[in-house]
Amino acid sequence: MRRSQFARVLPRAGLFILLLPASAAFAQELEPRTYSPSPVGTHFLVATYAFATGDVLTDPSLPITNVQANLDFFTLGYVQTFGLAGHTASLGFAVPVVRGNLSGDVVDSPREIHRAGLGDVRLRFAYNLFGSPALAPEAFAKRAPSTSVGVSLTMTAPTGQYVDSRLVNVGANRWSFKPEIGISQPAGNWFFEASAGAWFFTDNADFMNGHVRSQSPLATIELHTGYDFRPGLWLAGDVGYYAGGRTSLDGQENQDRQSNIRYGITLSVPFARGWSAKIAASKGLMTRVGGNYKAVSITLQYRWFDH
């Protein structure tokens, strides 16, 4: 099926091509303090609700306009820190459930759909190269804050809901991997962070009944600066830049290379022993393709130690 033939299927299907919204949101999220050190033997149980509204990535060669999405994300995650070769490491996972309404004009005819289901599971391994030795909570509390540099590998697995006859799905039906390096620098009550990485994607070889949808790597750079009012109570400003990610269908490239800047703010508030809440908001600042959406999230976190 050639591209012109593929486009003619759209009115009959009543849908439109999307870079799956859950994948797009994860690829362009802003998350401060991901490289801040923690004592070994720390456990985090995290529950997040996020709402995103705005445009999503489409194949620009298709006759689709005015794409809008209202998406709800419910995510449950767990992270544990441990010692590895004298340094702190962590391993965590997140399981999202996605619900959303999406609309757009297909050949000047308005269409609207609803999707809900389990999203793609995400795993993350992080390792502090230096500045964060493996310390128990008691020793960690007495340490002097210092520069910390770490690396991480995030992976999403194709576990989400996917139906190959649909143009829009919750799951992406592909693997993705993000190696990253990050630095965290304290300065009194202030902290400064920077990270750089890239998402790499395998092909979706079963897109719309056997077509191959590919995506080139998406580079990411994040900068965060914040202020610690007291332990657990902090406020951060966030900026992220995302470049690349051009898609192709059966080897034919689309003109959808991203070059997006997003900014946001994050507030963390402890409210009981071991408990804290985090509120975050972000939006697109300069967007070339996609990324021009607003997102708000609230996270509840419970933390406990082995000893």
Q: Encode pLDDT of 285-304 as tens digits.
A: 988 776 778 999 999 999 99
What are the contacts of 104-110 at 24+ separation with CB within 8 A?
104/16, 104/58, 104/64, 104/65, 104/66, 104/67, 104/68, 105/64, 105/65, 105/66, 106/10, 106/11, 106/14, 106/15, 106/16, 106/63, 106/64, 107/10, 107/11, 107/63, 108/63, 109/11
What pTM does this model have?
0.88
Kindly give the confidence (pLDDT) of every residue in the chain, 307 residues in length, as a single tens digit, with 9 standing for 90 and above: 444 444 444 433 333 344 444 455 555 577 899 998 899 999 999 999 999 988 765 555 455 667 788 899 999 999 999 999 999 999 999 999 999 888 877 666 787 888 899 999 999 999 999 888 899 999 998 888 899 999 999 999 999 999 988 877 889 999 999 999 999 999 999 999 999 999 999 999 998 888 999 999 999 999 999 999 999 999 999 999 999 999 898 999 888 888 999 999 999 999 999 999 999 999 989 887 767 789 999 999 999 999 6
Q: Encode pLDDT of 20-77 as tens digits.
A: 444 555 555 778 999 988 999 999 999 999 999 887 655 554 556 677 888 999 999 9
Residue extents of the structural domains in the chain:
3-305
CB 299 within 8 A of CB 48: yes
Residues near 8 by beta carbon (within 8 Å), at least 6 away in sequence: none
Quote the CA–CA distance of 147 and 58 in Å, as a whole number: 41
Task: Please determine, looking at this structure, whether the domain spanning 3-305 carries the CATH number 2.40.128.130.
Answer: yes
